[in-house]
Amino acid sequence: MDNEAKQNNLNNDKKTDFSHLEEESKKTNYSDSNNLIESVSDVISIAKYCLNTENWETKHQSTKNGFTQFGIWFRGEKDKTDKECQENLTPGIFRDKNLIELSLVRHFQTRFPSYRNEIKSIFEWLCLMQHYHASTRLLDWTENILFALFFALYREPDDNNNDRLLFVLRSWFLNDYSNTMYLQEPGCINQEKRIQTPFNFNAILRANMAISQGLSDLFFNDEVNQSKFDLEFPPKELWKELCNRYQNTIYKPSNDPSIDSHDPNMDYYVKKFLKQIRKPVAVFPYRNNPRLHVQQGAFTIHGGKNKNELISDEYEIGEPFQFNNFTHKELKDFMKVYRIKGDKVDNLIQELNLLGINEGLLFPELDYQSKYLENIWKISR
């Protein structure tokens, strides 16, 4: 790839929508209704289709009979494309542009100091905040497609009858495009490297953006620097160069012959690294609370900062690189999307209830159980 092509690739943050994925889904033969979900039977067919690696743009080594299950995640949500300033697949902290994330996280920590003894990382703090409905940079996914369908249909009292969307994510292929440990082209990462855990560098780096005002805060954060030792690429020279650009008293290239800060490739890798850290990565969390365990939950954690928190700097953290910033070709490698028409919602809720998939199953806390029981024993008039 020549330098001009490299720079064009770095600057390509153009937003797309998910309509092309819906068009791709219409080419499948999982049901006669194309990409539309009209029954639970359709959803089961979608699961079978998506678990077969042969039905994806890029093939992947699979388990017996061509099926692979681990790392295929699902998410259901209301279609937000008709709402001003809202986008699908956007974490809560980035839906409200006026939220100051750093202050929100730090204030949450000071109000609940008793958790400091059991929570060891910022990622775990974000999980706790997400659990109690605070806005974070985490986005919820599940390994169970019927649970994702429930969340797509789940209604608040003021809900209207908008369409719903069901997203399917190949998590390891997302990480192929978002990994900051490797800056080569996608497709060169070993499978075992692709799904992150809460203590992998990719997860820690993005989690600590929540408490960083700028890149200097991020690069000299203790948690980030302890985790960077699992880096295989970028090499230590790149990390030193990144640090040097934000604190000249540390790692001076002029005193270290292993670093050539005038190498044009170094500048390219620095810029690519700074673009990569704004992308979401898929993280398989420690399911250390009953709800996360029951819901078979997983997360994508998203990089970047809201514009109101960005510090003016040549290499600032930058705004989030969301799912709709990926190209159509990239999205086809790791995502599919299916639509549920608003007039089908009630029937699908009834079918899920017949299968025992409801609020009472997915929310084990007593306050949710009370609400569920009240709804059962309410007389319809």
- 270-293 pLDDT, tens digit each: 777 788 889 999 999 999 889 999
pLDDT of residue 355: 95
Closest of 185, 165, 142, 170 to residue 56, by C-alpha: 170
Following DSSP, what letter does each residue of 221-252 receive, concatenated?
Answer: -HHHHHHGGG--SS-HHHHHHHHHHH-TTSS-
pLDDT at 184 over 80: no
Average pLDDT value for residue range 186-212: 74
Read out DSSP for 136-185? -SEEEEES-HHHHHHHHH---TT-----EEEEEEEHHHHHHHH-SS--S-
Residue 259 in domain: yes
Residue 3 lies in a domain: no
Looking at the predicted structure, is the pLDDT value of residue 344 above 90? yes
Q: Are 321 and 275 in contact (CB under 8 A)?
A: yes
More confident residue, 196 or 194: 196
Yes or no: say if 213 and 311 are a contact pair by the CB < 8 Å rule.
Answer: yes
Q: Is 306 contained in some domain? A: yes
Q: Say which residue, 194 or 253, is predicted with more confidence.
A: 194
The pair of structure tokens assigned to 300 is 């994508």
On the 0-12 / 13-18 / 19+ scale of CB atoms within 10 A, 186 is: middle
Show the tokens assigned to 49: 């289709």
Eight-class DSSP state of 52: B
> Is 48 part of any domain?
yes
Query: What share of residues in the chain are helix, strand, coil (percent, to 5)?
Result: 45, 10, 45
Q: Does some domain include residue 168?
A: yes
Does the residue 4 lie in any domain? no
Q: 2 lies in a domain? A: no
In this predicted structure, the answer to whether residue 181 has a pLDDT above a threshold of 80 is no
Q: Tokens 């704004």 identify what position?
A: 278
> Using an 8 Å Cβ cutoff, are 185 and 212 in contact?
no
**Per-residue pLDDT tens over the stretch 36-80:** 999 999 999 999 999 887 788 766 555 445 445 678 999 999 887
Q: Alpha-carbon torsion 97, 103, 105, 111, what sign?
A: negative
pTM equals 0.82
Residue 381 within a domain: no
pLDDT of 167 above 90? yes
For residue 34, give every residue at least 6 positions away whose Cβ sits within 8 Å of its Cβ, in sequence order, or none. Answer: 25, 26, 28
Range name among 122-136, 184-198, 268-282, 363-377 with the lowest pLDDT average: 184-198
170 - beta bridge partners? 72
pLDDT digits 0-9 by tens, 218-263: 877 888 877 655 544 444 566 666 666 555 433 334 444 444 445 5
What average pLDDT does range 315-341 have in this prediction?
89
Q: For residue 248, what are the CA distances in angstroms to 178, 244, 245, 254, 266?
A: 28, 5, 6, 11, 17
Q: What is the mean pLDDT of the chain?
A: 78
pLDDT of residue 296: 95
Number of domains within the chain: 1
- For residue 365, the enclosing domain spans 11-376
